[in-house]
Amino acid sequence: MSSADNSGNQDQKANQTSTIWGGRFAAGPSALMEAINASISFDKKLYKQDIAGSRAHATMLAATGIITDADRDAILQGLDQVEQEIEGGSFTFSAALEDIHMNVESRLREIAGDAAGRLHTARSRNDQVATDFRLWVRAETDEIIDALARLRGALARQAAANADTVMPGFTHLQAAQPVTFGHHMLAYFEMAGRDRSRFVDSRKRLNESPLGAAALAGTGFPIDRHMTAKALGFDSPMNNSIDAVSARDFALEFLASAAICATHLTRLAEEIVVWSSAQFGFVQLSDQFTTGSSIMPQKKNPDAAELSRAKAGRIIGSLVGLLTVMKGLPLAYSKDMQEDKEPVFDAAETLLIVIQTMTGMIDDMVPVKDRLREAAGAGFTTATDLADWLVREADLPFRDAHHVTGTLVKMAEDKGCDLADLSLDDMQSVNSAITNSVFDVLTVEASAMSRQSFGGASPLRVAEQAKEALSAVEKELAE
């Protein structure tokens, strides 16, 4: 490049900088300053929200007599053209203009002339970016709320179809007591419901408008912040102008909800990985959510579940990263806060694809009922039923019944058989009050059926709750 060409580029950058900063700066930033300062590479994702905010602001400025109707019309027409150019791929984004706000405004000035220069009256990039970001997070929150309802639907359908499919329940990853596959699915249904409620709840708090707070102190122009808030679908304007531009707890709350949700999904993903292994053989996964091996032709790897399990690390990292950025920042706005968007963008995209992937896997997953039933009886899982029988029928205190049952478990272990395979004589050698009716409670089906307390594993309770779950999902999807 010739020195003349280079000089021309420097002049162009200086002119663009002058457009942004006015008369305070005579020269453009260094290449390094531009590289660290520019955010257009990622915040161009906010173009729809930025244009929507500018439309609302321009309309309000005209309604309050701050700009003319003619200027408003020129601005709105120009914004329509800018949006069409961005969506059509013909818009040229400039790092020298730093961010989406100045890129849109610069192009608007080329289209609408002096009228565009009036658009920034009574606002700052501080309230502008806070508004854009809230609008974007709100839209993503709505998508995630819907996706979680669909995940809950998949879990509820599996629960309804497998209300009486007996399987082992685990504690410490050791077989504990018989439950049903449907009951297990409803546990995740409840978790996903709380996840969804966190997003629903946080949406209410974020749905206040920062627009009109300007840099930090508000403005001397007679603006109508309630008008712009309503136009953008906010419940109200934020009460304090300093808080409006400096608050990022809405982003932190979004990330916290996302991190908790992702953590729940890792537990389900981990179980799918384990259950689909040859050693467990509890479920079969479809070809849609598995992959093969480049060297071992027999392999069918649960990669979708493994990736869903891993991606929680990114989401949790995003939360920790933004918490660290915001820690100790003085009010009101600091450039540090430019680092708020990338973690939220990444976490939202990651969480949504994980939820959708898990929904697909749950819908396609086929429980292997014979294997589940076989595993449900391994590991003396009906021992608690024996202890309960001793309490009810032999009138033993539970601690004594616990001791008797433990002795019988040790006897069965030594004999290499299950509790139900001990003879009545074997049992009576430990406690003479035991009768033949004890064997009625020592099947896995009887064990599961007996758990009829509210929220218990009985197929009767599971079928009832699965029906209620499907009804709840239907309402959620209709909202």
Residues tagged active-site: 172, 293
List all residues 6 or more positions away from 117 whose beta carbon is below 8 Å from its beta carbon: 109
Which amino acid is it at 267? R
Task: Tell me the CB-side half-sphere exposure of residue 126, using CA atoms within 13 A.
Answer: 23
Q: How far apart are CA 97 and CA 84, in angstroms?
A: 20
List all residues 6 or more positions away from 190 whose beta carbon is below 8 Å from its beta carbon: none
Q: How far apart are CA 156 and CA 390, in angstroms?
A: 36
Q: Which residues pair with 208 in a beta bridge?
A: 236
List all residues 6 or more positions away from 29 whose beta carbon is below 8 Å from its beta carbon: 13, 17, 37
Which amino acid is it at 450? S
Dump strand ranges (E) for 355-398: 366-367
Q: How far apart are CA 109 and CA 148, in angstroms?
A: 43
Q: Which residues pair with 175 in a beta bridge?
A: 170
Pick the closest to residue 51 from 25, 78, 32 (CA basis). Answer: 78
Query: Do strands 174-180 and 166-171 pair parallel, antiparallel, or not at all (unpaired)?
Result: antiparallel
Q: How far apart are CA 327 and CA 337, in angstroms?
A: 11
Q: How far apart are CA 362 and CA 305, in angstroms?
A: 10
Spell out a b/e string for 283-295, using b for 16 or more CB atoms within 10 Å of the CB, else e: bebeeebbeeeee
Token pair, residue 50, equals 């930025």
Q: At what angle do helices 100-112 and 69-88 cross, to 10 degrees?
A: 120
SS3 content of the chain, % helix, strand, coil (to 5): 70, 5, 25
Pick the closest to residue 389 from 321, 331, 450, 465 (CA basis). Answer: 450
Task: Tell me the CB-side half-sphere exposure of residue 37, using CA atoms within 13 A.
Answer: 13
